[in-house]
Structure 1
Amino acid sequence: MAAPKHQIRALHTDSTVTVYQAYAPEIGLPAAREGCFPAVWQRDRMTWIKPSFLWMMYRCGWGTKEGQETVLAVEIAREGFEWALEHACLSHFEHGLHADRSTWKRQLKRAPARVQWDPERDLRLQPLPHRSLQLGLAGEAARLYADEWIVSITDITPLAHTIHAHVRDGDLEMARQLLPRERPYPVNDGTLAHLHQ
């Protein structure tokens, strides 16, 4: 059965959800070692978290792009993740969802989080017809993420490289078996209503 166009799929437990980010080693390695972001991590910049492992691989080139060589799995509290969704604004104007462009711009400026829906990726990082959530955190949301929501940070760069090696060798079945087990993430009907049509 085809996946719904807008659906959050993630590795999650009853209390946490795992999101992915990729950083230069001077940020990523201490973050994984200490379980929190180092002082050099900038709280005043928007930070994008991604529940899709393969979308993260597309974005960071399997951990080979400059400044994205360390791939992190960040386990965060579901309460925080859902707070960010509820307080997020769609990153682009959507006719029929927003009253008008100026109203949307005001909402976007005030919102501590923003959402983009980008094409999900397959193992060869080709686009799929359904979308993957990207959640941008700024201001209050970025501070809460860094200081309160994080349960654990794991360096999964070796996993990314291993899966990529299997893909390069054409062994997609082995690569697929190593992927994080992402399942539809349960959200109340109203939680995403303001984030897509």
Structure 2
Amino acid sequence: MYDVCVGLGYHCESTYQLRRVTGVERAHFFDWLDLDLVAVRETVAADFANVLRPGLCEPFSDGACVRDRGSNIRFFHDFRAPEGAPLTSAIIAEQFDAVRSKFDHLAARWRALTASRSRVLYVHQDAFDESGAPDLAALHSLLRTRYPAHDFDLLWLRRTPPTDAEALPPGVLWGTVPLDPGRWEGDDAAWDAALAPLDIPRAPGADRRA
């Protein structure tokens, strides 16, 4: 049985669904962020030192979010502009220390979890079918190398089945969660089906149909 499920992006859908299914709302570093698998690998490899360095955060997407140039992570929820107004460089500078403090705390939580005896299922939602088996194998190898005593598996969820699944190493699983157009939270039934075979923490009454 897995003790903890930890999301690795791509965006808010994965965080929402893991919390819905498990009933656990304890925050992890990559929750609610917008980032691709490359950014996840680079962040873990840098032990989070590449994220939120001073002077590298800028308004992005017409001020809808903040892009951290050091990590290419997009922050949609941590920097707050007044209602109806875009994020600006001044707002980012004013709120930067508080946001940085939050993510320093979450990085410390990640390190504590990887050093613990907990068995972890990491879940990467490949929301745009961008990655291949070698990319997931590289992430798995990185995690195994950085945390050799850590007990974990990696679940790769795509919109469509991968064509190279046979190249995945042991400890990397895969499934599909099709796009639900117009619903940022994703398809509940598809996530239930993808997670049903796995022995993970579940909210009371959570659906476990395969």
State the TM bucket, normalised to the shorter chain: under 0.3
**TM-score under structure 2 normalisation?**
0.24
Higher relative contact order (Cα pairs below 8 Å, separated by 6+ residues): 1
Structure showing the higher strand proportion among its residues: 1
**TM-score under structure 1 normalisation?**
0.25
